């Protein structure tokens, strides 16, 4: 009975300990933290000085009857560059923590940790990064553009980070090496949130249904509708959560399968060779 009562507390301690290990390992190099702070600022700086201020009509995909709104390309570009920063950074961070320390994870399994505890530690870390980065990126954007609904724009950044963070965990669980994972993330993120989701490209696209199927569609709609209109974004929020959960569940299943053979709790020690 005593062991059963202590079990939840012990599990929390293990998850907390594993989470602290992930944080220390990730930010051991201070350049990593510096880049996290600088990359969104660099994205905004480039967008601010390379986009036009001449107002144009933009068609918003998820607004009722694809509403057309007059806006400056610079304002639109600043909203979308925040999405790109959130998506790129969270996906790479998630990929990194999923692929790093594979041997250490296996040793932790042998030492009594469960796959659930290891997965939960990684998930908590990624969620913390997603929320922090979404709020930070939104705060930087407010210095350059004033959206109609600030909370909605920040929520769009967080949802974009959630989808691409989950995607990064999924890719990290599928591929063993960083190179393959990075190439897949760069390819998808660049085509999706870096290009096709921008309404300027969407308006002229002949096959819009392809763009709507991409991961960044719903969170980008949450951000842009909140920034420039008063329309509801509830359905886009739900679709974004479903999309992110799909990647997350797949990532945890694959990670669990890979760790399963180490989950018996039995440590196999090879006996020393006899000396003659």
Confidence of residue 66 (pLDDT cuts 50, 70, 90): low
Q: Residue-wise over 42-70: b if at least 16 C-beta within 10 A, else e?
A: ebbeebeeebeeeeeebbbbbbeeeeebe
DSSP string, 199-255: HHHHHH-S-HHHHHHSTTHHHHHHHHHHHH-----HHHHHHHHHHHHHHHHHHHHHH
Per-residue pLDDT band at 213 (split at 50, 70, 90) = very high
Give the pTM: 0.86
Mean pLDDT of the 252-260 span: 83
For residue 238, tell me if it sits in a domain. yes
The mean per-residue pLDDT over the stretch 180-188 comes to 92
Query: Nearest CA to 193 among 172, 217, 168?
Result: 217
- pLDDT the model gives residue 275: 45
Band of pLDDT at residue 78, cut at 50, 70 and 90: very high
Between the alpha carbon of residue 16 and those of residues 29, 218, 223, the distances in Å are 21, 33, 33
- pLDDT exceeding 70 applies to what percent of the chain? 88
In a domain, 12, yes or no: no
Mean pLDDT calculated for residue range 8-32: 81
Q: Which two tokens stand for residue 18?
A: 């594993």
Total structural domains within the chain: 1
Q: Evaluate whether residue 3 is within a structural domain.
A: no
- Domain contains 105: yes
Q: In the prediction, which pLDDT does 97 show?
A: 87
Is residue 265 in a domain? no
Is pLDDT at 3 greater than 70 in this prediction? Answer: no
Owning domain of residue 140: 19-260
Identify whether 136 is part of a domain: yes
Q: Is the pLDDT confidence value at 263 over 90? A: no
The pLDDT of residue 185: 93
267 domain residue, yes or no = no
Return the percentage of the chain with pLDDT > 90, whole number: 46
Domain-embedded: residue 272: no
pLDDT, mean of residues 76-97: 92
């Amino acid at each position: 009975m005593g062991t059963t009562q202590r079990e939840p507390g012990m599990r929390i301690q293990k998850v907390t300990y594993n989470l602290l290990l992930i944080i220390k390992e990730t930010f051991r190099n201070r350049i990593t933290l510096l880049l996290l702070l600088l990359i969104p600022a660099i994205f905004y700086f480039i967008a601010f000085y390379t986009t036009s201020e001449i107002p144009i009509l933009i068609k918003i995909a998820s607004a009722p009857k694809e509403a057309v709104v007059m806006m400056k390309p610079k304002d639109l570009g600043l909203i979308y560059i925040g999405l790109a920063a959130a998506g790129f950074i969270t996906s790479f961070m998630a990929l990194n923590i999923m692929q790093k320390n594979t041997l250490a994870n296996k040793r932790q399994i042998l030492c009594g940790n469960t796959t659930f505890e290891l997965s939960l530690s990684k998930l908590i870390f990624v969620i913390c990064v997603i929320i922090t980065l979404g709020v930070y990126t939104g705060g930087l954007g407010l210095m350059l553009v004033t959206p109609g609904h600030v909370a909605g724009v920040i929520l769009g950044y967080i949802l974009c980070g959630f989808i691409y963070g989950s995607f990064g965990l999924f890719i990290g669980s599928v591929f063993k090496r960083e190179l393959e994972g990075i190439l897949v993330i760069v390819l998808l993120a660049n085509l999706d949130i870096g290009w096709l989701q921008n309404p300027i490209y969407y308006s002229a696209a002949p096959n819009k249904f392809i763009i709507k199927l991409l991961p960044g569609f719903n969170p980008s709609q949450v951000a842009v509708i909140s920034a420039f209109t008063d329309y509801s974004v509830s359905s886009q929020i739900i679709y974004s959560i479903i999309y992110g959960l799909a990647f997350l569940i797949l990532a945890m299943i694959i990670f669990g399968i890979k760790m399963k053979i180490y989950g018996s709790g039995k440590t196999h020690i090879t006996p020393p060779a006899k000396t003659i």
